[in-house]
């Protein structure tokens, strides 16, 4: 393989639970203090599905079962850190206890989504997941 610049790969997860949506408050920049879907970077040698399950548990304490792929988000300007492509999944809780961890300052179940306080392009992901 030749050396070339490539986008980074991330996953985000729409977790519906208790008649609401699980969001994390970001502990770090970019978008520190904004609400976001749980998610993060795919690790080398990891499938995107395994990454989504791992990130959900790392950030929320919840074990999730993935339902479907919501969409692929590849706008080169969607993340201020650089060109980052995200695969967004929807899933449901199958275990664990809700608690913030790793990059999450807080985790909360929202009955009403804080549309004006969302990080990245997560409003678009939630619309594609039929939550608006």
Residue 19: left if φ>0, alpha if ψ -120 to 50, beta else—which one?
Answer: left
Distance set, CA 109 to CA 13, 14, 98, 106 (Å): 14, 11, 9, 10
* Residue among 18, 19, 106, 124 flagged as catalytic: 106
**Is 106 part of the annotated catalytic residue set?**
yes
Would you name the residues annotated as active-site residues?
A: 106
């Amino acid at each position: 393989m030749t050396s070339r610049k490539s986008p980074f790969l991330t996953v985000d997860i729409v977790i519906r639970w208790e008649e609401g949506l699980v969001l994390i408050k970001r502990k770090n920049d970019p978008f520190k203090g904004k609400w976001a879907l749980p998610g993060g970077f795919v690790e080398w040698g990891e499938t995107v599905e395994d990454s989504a399950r791992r990130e959900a548990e790392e950030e929320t304490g919840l074990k999730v079962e993935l339902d479907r792929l919501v969409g692929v988000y590849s706008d080169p300007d969607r993340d201020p850190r650089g060109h980052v492509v995200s695969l967004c999944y929807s899933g449901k809780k199958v275990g664990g206890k809700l608690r913030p961890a790793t990059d999450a300052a807080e985790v909360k179940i929202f009955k009403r989504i804080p549309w004006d306080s969302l990080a990245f392009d997560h409003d678009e992901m939630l619309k594609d997941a039929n939550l608006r």
